[in-house]
Structure 1
């Protein structure tokens, strides 16, 4: 393994982060150059930032995918990058309130609603961005699609209101959070980057046990995202196992028991012979011809 290829070396990543150093591989620079060519880059970056990044990457090789990848029957992306993300992040950074008009499910429009922005989330299932915010008049925790927001502007909250509301929301969200530990089976250590990518949209901490050569990933997630995480664990198959997290362990054991109840007895009915072996019995093996025939 190339020790300078940080994509496959978590120990190097963690040590670089501790020292405040960021190392980029040539693959990452090439990938970034291709990303900056996407139309959404114009909305994702300020004009001067985009021009500077493109200038720095001008000498990098282009990512040639036309001859390698063929895209077929792809569902359209709803939101690659929404233009409201930048102003909302600025409002939260400056601890500003918001006044917004938005459309609800029945088609009605709620106009000039005051609130406190709390967090921006991307739904991996619905492929859409959401604003999590507190409705000041109704005293409710809201989740609104950015695509449903019609108008948005900053609004100065009363003294201490922003801090009070966000503290309450932190406490409320904290009660809905769960944590589990997923261990990478040692045989698949080289696939760590792929495994981490599967959980890329969740808070995680990776620890490495030098003595046993084991990676462990501690995931922190909202309770309602547990089923999505389970689907990723099943997708990874033999590469990982859940070592902490009562709910995830129980759900994996339950789904395994159900699968065994449905399929586990079939081999015994055939005398322990697999279906492939049964088929081979009925295939006639050509007889060897006699010498000279």
Structure 2
């Protein structure tokens, strides 16, 4: 491709982005048509929108993965789509207030709680949706499971609540809770880089390559609540990676390794055998 073609294509893509047009490939169209066949699609889209999408993809084929993929030992999906998602998403987009009724841990229902919705978040660990919001009366950052919310209604914000000020405060709160860890891919496993990066696909990350050492380093940014999930991914990758930065993650990996060696290592096995022999004498 010559430079003029690149400039021309860049101008086309820039204009399409400015007009809100999204280009998708035939594979993406096939994937989308397959996803629209999922039972949750009726809840995720309004009837008119769903009909328009299906009519636009009428000539495309569905993604046939039956001959290539076999699903085994599937975990139970508690929530694919929640009925409140669409309503809450509109409140977040319009930057309006919200009135909630939800159940707390002891089973008591709390009603008429005014707040400012900030973000919808899906927990990959618990496999359910959460609403992140700001409680106006208590001036507190809240995280509530959608499963616990019994009702949600849009309402105008009071005059003393400035959306920009609330958003700045919430962003500062989340930034203060952010942590990061640097994970190095061992050189002999560079060919599995795509698999390793896929394991961290749920996190914000930066990938750096050192040509002198021929090594990749993945800097993962995560919230403190997601540390256990990150640890599970690192353990899943095993000897392919090692944590080079991030004291908390390193200490947790060292702790779990020490416990595993104590239970399954040679010394641990001998100690358990001696304890059993002494118990039988």
Q: TM-score range by the shorter chain?
A: 0.7 to 0.9
Q: Which has the larger radius of gyration?
A: 1
Instruction: After superposition, give the CA deviation of every residue in 1:154-184 in whole Å (9 maximum; x if it has no partner).
Output: 1221345322222222222222110112223
Equivalent residue number for residue 156 of structure 2? 156
The alpha carbon displacement at 1:221 in A equals: 0.9
Q: Is contact 1:182-1:244 (8 Å) kept? A: yes
Q: Which residue of 2 aligns with 1:35?
A: 35
Can you list the C-alpha shifts for 1:75-129, whole angstroms capped at 9, x where unaligned?
5421101122222222122211111122233333222210111222212222111
1:231 corresponds to: 232
Report the equivalent of 1:274: none
| Map of 2:203 onto structure 1 | 202
Contact kept in structure 1, 2:262 and 2:268, CA below 8 Å: no
Q: Deviations over 1:7-31 (max 9, x none)?
A: xxxxxxxxx9xx8798756554433
Alignment of 1:1-293 (within 5 A): 27-67=27-67, 69=69, 71=71, 74-159=74-159, 160-210=161-211, 212-265=213-266
Question: 1:194/1:98 Cα in 2 relative to 1: closer, same or farther (>3 Å)?
Answer: same
Point out the structure with the larger helix share. Answer: 2
How many residues align structurally? Answer: 252
Q: Which secondary structure state, in structure 1, belongs to the residue aligned with residue 152 of structure 2?
A: strand
Judged with a 3 Å threshold, the aligned counterparts in structure 2 of structure 1 residues 29 and 194 are, in CA distance, closer, same or farther, namely farther
Question: For 1:79, what is the secondary structure of its paired residue?
Answer: coil
Q: Name structure 1 gaps, 5 residues minimum.
A: 1-15, 270-293
Please give the alpha-carbon distance, in whole angstroms, between the structure 1 residues aligned to 2:58 and 2:186: 41
SS at structure 1 position matched to 2:126: coil
Gap runs ≥5 in structure 2: 1-9, 271-281
State the 1:62 CA deviation: 2.6
Please state how far the C-alpha of 1:219 moved relative to its aligned partner: 1.3
Separation (CA, whole Å) in 2 of partners of 1:53 and 1:210 = 46
Task: Please give the TM-score of this superposition, normalised by the length of structure 2.
Answer: 0.76
Relative to structure 1, the CA distance from residue 217 to residue 55 in structure 2 (aligned partners, 3 Å threshold; closer, same or farther) is: farther
Relative to 1, partners in 2 of residues 1:259 and 1:111: Cα closer, same or farther, differing over 3 Å? Answer: closer
- Which stretch shows the higher mean deviation, 97-106 or 22-31? 22-31
2:4 corresponds to: none
Give SS of 1:82's match: coil
Q: Quote the offset at 1:222 in angstroms.
A: 1.1
Q: Take 1:249 and 1:130, find their aligned partners in 2: how far apart are those partners? A: 29
